[in-house]
C-alpha cells in the first residue's frame, strides 16, 4: 500500500537531441535538466508519486535517485511508454514495477504518442505538473495541430500547481515565455539553479 496522503506529480521532461529541431538544443542547459530531475525526484519521491512518459534520458536519473534513497518506494513511481518505441526502452525500465505500456495506433508515431499521453493524463488526478527541458512533447507541434503535454495537462488538471523550470531552457523556456500566465511567473523559475530549495518552496510546501 502507498503511504497515506500520497499525491500524484506529473513530470514532463527530456534532454533535447541534436538530431531534432535545433531550437530546443540551442537553449537547453543539459546539466540543469539533469540537476532539476534529480532534485525533484529526491524531494518528492519519499512522500509522493511521480508519473512520467519514459523518455530514455530521464528514466535512468529517476532510478538513480531511487537507489540512492534506499527506500522501498516502487509504488511512488509510474512510467508510461508506447509499445511503438519498445526497442528503444532504456534498460532501467526493467527496474520499475509500475510500467504501463500503451498500444500502437495505426503504426503511426504521432497517434501512438497522443494515445499514450491521453492515458497518462486521464488515468490519474494530479496535484502538480513539472516541466523541465524537453522538445515537441512539451510544446506540441502547431503545424500538425498536435497539442503538447503542457496544454494537455492544464486543460485536464486546471487546479494543479504548474512549475515550468525555465532555467533548464528548451521547450520549457518556450512555454514559460509564451504561454505561462504573467501573474504566475517568478524569477526563481528563470534563474534559480538551487532546485532542491525551489521544489521545496513551490511544490512540497503547497501540496
For 85-126, the pLDDT digits (tens) are 988 888 888 889 999 999 999 999 999 999 999 999 999 999
C-alpha atoms less than 13 angstroms from C-alpha of 182 in its C-beta half-sphere: 0
**For the domain bounded by 8-200, which CATH number is listed?**
3.40.50.450
DSSP character at residue 57: T
> Please, are residues 14 and 41 in contact by the beta-carbon 8 Å criterion?
no
Report the alpha-carbon distance of residue 186 to residue 145 in Å, rounded. Answer: 29
Residue 159: all three cell numbers together: 487546479
- Per-residue pLDDT reduced to its tens digit, 19-61: 778 899 999 999 999 999 999 999 999 999 999 998 888 999 9
Q: Is 47 strand, coil or helix?
A: coil
**Residue 136 main-chain phi, psi, to 5 deg:** -60, -30
pTM, entire model:
0.93
Amino acid at each position: 500500500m502507498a503511504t497515506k496522503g500520497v499525491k500524484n506529480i506529473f513530470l514532463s521532461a527530456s534532454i533535447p537531441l541534436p538530431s531534432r529541431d535545433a531550437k530546443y538544443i540551442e537553449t537547453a542547459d543539459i546539466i540543469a535538466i539533469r540537476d532539476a530531475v534529480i532534485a525533484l525526484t529526491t524531494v518528492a519521491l519519499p512522500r509522493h508519486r511521480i508519473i512520467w512518459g519514459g523518455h530514455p534520458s530521464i528514466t535512468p536519473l529517476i532510478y538513480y535517485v531511487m537507489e540512492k534513497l534506499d527506500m522501498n518506494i516502487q509504488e511512488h513511481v509510474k512510467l508510461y511508454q508506447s509499445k511503438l518505441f519498445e526497442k528503444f526502452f532504456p534498460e532501467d525500465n526493467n527496474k520499475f514495477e509500475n510500467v504501463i505500456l500503451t498500444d500502437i495506433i495505426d503504426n503511426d508515431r504521432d497517434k501512438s504518442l497522443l494515445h499514450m499521453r491521453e492515458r497518462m493524463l486521464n488515468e490519474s488526478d494530479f496535484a502538480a505538473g513539472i516541466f523541465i527541458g524537453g522538445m515537441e512533447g512539451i510544446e506540441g507541434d502547431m503545424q500538425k495541430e498536435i497539442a503538447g503535454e503542457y496544454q494537455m495537462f492544464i486543460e485536464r488538471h486546471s487546479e494543479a500547481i504548474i512549475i515550468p523550470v525555465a532555467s533548464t531552457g528548451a521547450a520549457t523556456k518556450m512555454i514559460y515565455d509564451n504561454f505561462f500566465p504573467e501573474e504566475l511567473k517568478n524569477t526563481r523559475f528563470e534563474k534559480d539553479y538551487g532546485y532542491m530549495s525551489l521544489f521545496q518552496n513551490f511544490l512540497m510546501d503547497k501540496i
